[in-house]
Amino acid sequence: MTAPALAERIAGVVRRAAGGKEGPIPLHEPCFAGSEWNFVRECLDSGWVSSVGSFVDRFERALEDFTGAPHAVAVVNGTAALHLCLLLAGVEPGDEVLIPALSFVATANAVAYCGAVPHFVDSEISTLGVDPVKLARYLEEIALPSPGGCRNRMSGRPIRALVPMHTFGHPADLQGLSELCGRFGLALVEDAAESLGSRYRGAHTGTFGLLGAVSFNGNKIVTTGGGGAILTGDEALARRARHLSTTAKLPHRWAFRHDAVGFNYRLPNLNAALGVAQMEELPAFLSAKRRLAAYYREEFATLAGASFFAAPEGCQSNYWLNALLLAPELAGLRDRLLDELNDRGIMARPAWEPLHRLPPYLDAPRMELSTAEGLADRIINIPSSPALGLALERSTPVNHGEQGEQP
């Protein structure tokens, strides 16, 4: 199939989902359908718009209730959340941290902020996340047991943590990765930036590791404009996260005393007001996005040259971004297809450039990365906004249950 023909077919499916809407169809736009205006106005009227206020507390409680995490700490963005997660997990300058090569650059940047070294690992096709079987074989070759964990026999550096990222909202193999971390003495820190609302075997992503990081950027399923959060089951770590994210200032009525190098990372009350309203709408957003994914899956079932990526077995995905996977023989058409789709007003995009190919990380250690590289060459993300699923819900009764997902 040629790129123009494939683009025409994909564009037709997306426009039907949008109810025949003309003009550009965004990849993922926010949806403000609830109490956002009222809560933001209430915040403005109160005068409490910075990092202290009732909406910050309410937002954290809403996250805890929804995810089941005992503790949530709201911060300014997902990268800040991951940075603090790594520091709290004991990552120190000179350590190595295992991260997927197929991820957004923030995953690697957060490691670099700690003075640590990203160590890139491969993905698996079934989840798009870190491959625990392949990684275990690799660590058997390069990891030496050492007190409190393991050490890279090639570099001599400690390997401190593993950071799986739940790609496009699809949970990675958390059981396999948890077992691997236990075997090699690694801290498991989840990059759950894209997976609010996704569950692995019934439990929410971001709650399996020592800590998890979530994002509320403007293109996420729930947005606070910017924003992120740390999820943890450890009360002491949560308390430390709050302290470090507020410049490590010791409580006092008027004195400015700080007992550590802290960060100005706390989420402002104004942003949290938006988040509280968005959390109220989250169940509807998830229903709409799963309905859209089911529609795409059905419409693209007979698409020659590409397949729709569905949630892994035993998982419930939020389908943050819907993905088409080109057949290997059509990988060379990816960029032409993206041009054709965007020319038609369908704002499609590729996956990220694999991190080991970026200039800051060209010299970073890595395992063999053929699967991640192949996926990056073949993935195309198509419009995934909740509004498309809501439009489908109004027009057509589609069953949004996915094979392998929880109901």
- Mind giving me the DSSP string for 26-88? -SS-----SSHHHHHHHHHHHT--SS-SHHHHHHHHHHHHHH--SEEEEESBHHHHHHHHHHH
Instruction: Give me the CATH number covering residue 293.
Output: 3.90.1150.10
DSSP 353: P
Q: Which is it for the CA torsion 372, 232, 213, 153, positive or negative? A: negative
User: pLDDT by residue (tens digit) across 201-245?
Assistant: 999 999 999 999 999 999 999 999 999 999 999 999 999 999 999
Helix (H) or strand (E) holding 106: helix 105-113
What pLDDT was estimated at residue 147?
A: 87
| Res 398: pLDDT | 44
- Residue 328 CB: number of other CB atoms within 10 A? 10
Total of domains in the chain: 2
Report residue 344 as tokens: 């038609």
Which pLDDT band, with edges at 50, 70 and 90, does 400 fall under? Answer: very low
pLDDT of residue 397: 53
407 part of a folded domain:
no
Question: pLDDT tens digits for 267-298?
Answer: 999 999 999 999 999 999 999 999 999 999 99
Instruction: Identify whether residues 204 and 328 lie together within a single domain.
Output: no
Residues 6+ apart with CB under 8 A from 8: 340, 344
**Dihedral angle over CA of 248, 250, 253, 255, nearest 10:** -80
Q: Provide the 10 A C-beta neighbour count for residue 52.
A: 12
Nearest to 56 by CA among 81, 73, 32: 73
Say whether 145 sits in a helix, a strand or coil.
Answer: strand
Helix (H, G, I), strand (E, B) or coil at 14: helix
Which residue range(s) make up the domain with 298? 3-30+282-395
- Distances 191 to 24, 98, 333, 394 between C-alpha atoms, Å: 31, 12, 31, 34
For residue 348, is it within any domain?
yes
**Exposed e or buried b per residue across 294-319, where buried means at least 16 C-beta atoms within 10 angstroms of its C-beta:** bbbbebbeebebbbbbbbbeebbbbb
Using the 3D structure, point to which of 278, 297, 330 is the last residue of a domain.
278
Whether 210 and 301 map to the same domain: the answer is no
Question: pLDDT band at 396, cuts 50/70/90?
Answer: low
Structure tokens at 63: 């996250």
> How high does pLDDT run on average in the chain?
95
Is residue 335 located within the same domain as residue 198? no
Mean pLDDT is lowest, of 137-146, 371-380, 386-395, for 386-395
Judge contact between 83 and 243, C-beta under 8 A. no
Whether 404 is covered by a domain: the verdict is: no
Q: Which of 246, 278, 310 is the last residue of a domain?
A: 278
Do 119 and 210 reside in the same domain of the chain? Answer: yes
Q: What is the pTM of this model?
A: 0.95
Q: Is residue 86 located within the same domain as residue 211?
A: yes
> Domain of 102: which CATH number?
3.40.640.10
Measure the CA–CA gap between 85 and 172, rounded to whole angstroms.
18
The reply to whether 257 and 153 lie within a common domain is yes
Q: What is the pLDDT of residues 153-163, one digit of tens each?
A: 999 999 999 99
pLDDT of residue 52: 84
Q: Tell me: do 23 and 144 sit in the same domain.
A: no
Q: Determine the Cα–Cα distance for residues 20 and 12; give it in Å rounded to an integer.
A: 9
Label residue 60 by pLDDT band (50, 70, 90): very high
Q: What is the reported pLDDT for 34?
A: 95
**Residues whose CB is less than 8 angstroms from the CB of residue 370 and which lie 6 or more positions away in sequence, other chains included:** 122
Tell me the chain's radius of gyration from C-alpha atoms: 21
Judged against a pLDDT cut of 80, whether residue 404 lies above it is answered with no
Q: 317 with 208, same domain?
A: no
pLDDT at 405: 47
Residues 269 and 330 in one domain: no
Note whether residue 406 is domain-resident: no
Last residue of a domain, one of 218, 249, 278: 278
